């Protein structure tokens, strides 16, 4: 599963998640954020595909492996802070109409990276 949210010009926001499950790519366009905490590197969101597959994601990057790095701006006018944890916790719940709920979890296998007010 990979999810990306970023600000674009003219006040637009790009939101997309892709989940590979059972050999098929499921694309989610509308992410509804429940929690976004750059300071503690926590992110929770839900989203639904056009076909009705619902995904709920909880990422927790707190802990001793959380670190902050300065990233250089593309125009070289300075840098900005990015929080990263390559050993984060993640839970993904899949809800499909007429199917049992599936839950996947890793306690040290998710990569979370977040910029903005870190």
State the 10-residue block means of pLDDT for the chain, 118 residues long: 88 92 92 92 95 96 92 90 94 94 94 78
DSSP 57-117: EEEE--STT-EEEEEEPTTSS-EEEEEEEEEEEEEEEEE-TTS--EEEEEEEEEEEEEES-
Number of residues assigned to the chain: 118
pLDDT of residue 2: 93
Asked if 107 and 62 touch (Cβ cutoff 8 Å), the reply is: no
Asked if 19 and 28 touch (Cβ cutoff 8 Å), the reply is: yes
Q: Which domain holds residue 100?
A: 2-115
CA distances from 70 to 60, 74, 76, 114, 118 (A): 21, 13, 12, 12, 10
Helix (H, G, I), strand (E, B) or coil at 26: strand
Q: How many independent structural domains does the chain possess?
A: 1
Alpha-carbon span 79 to 77, nearest angstrom: 7
């Amino acid at each position: 599963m990979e999810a990306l949210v970023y600000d674009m010009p003219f006040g637009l926001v790009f939101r997309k998640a892709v989940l590979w499950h059972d050999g098929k790519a499921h694309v989610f366009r509308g992410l509804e954020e429940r929690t976004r905490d750059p300071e503690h590197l926590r992110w929770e969101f839900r989203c639904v595909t056009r076909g009705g597959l619902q995904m709920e994601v909880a990422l927790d990057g707190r802990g001793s492996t959380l670190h902050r790095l300065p990233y250089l701006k593309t125009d070289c006018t300075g840098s900005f802070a990015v929080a990263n944890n390559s050993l984060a916790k993640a839970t993904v719940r899949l809800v499909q109409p007429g199917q049992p709920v599936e839950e996947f979890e890793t306690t040290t296998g998710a990569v979370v990276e977040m910029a903005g007010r870190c």
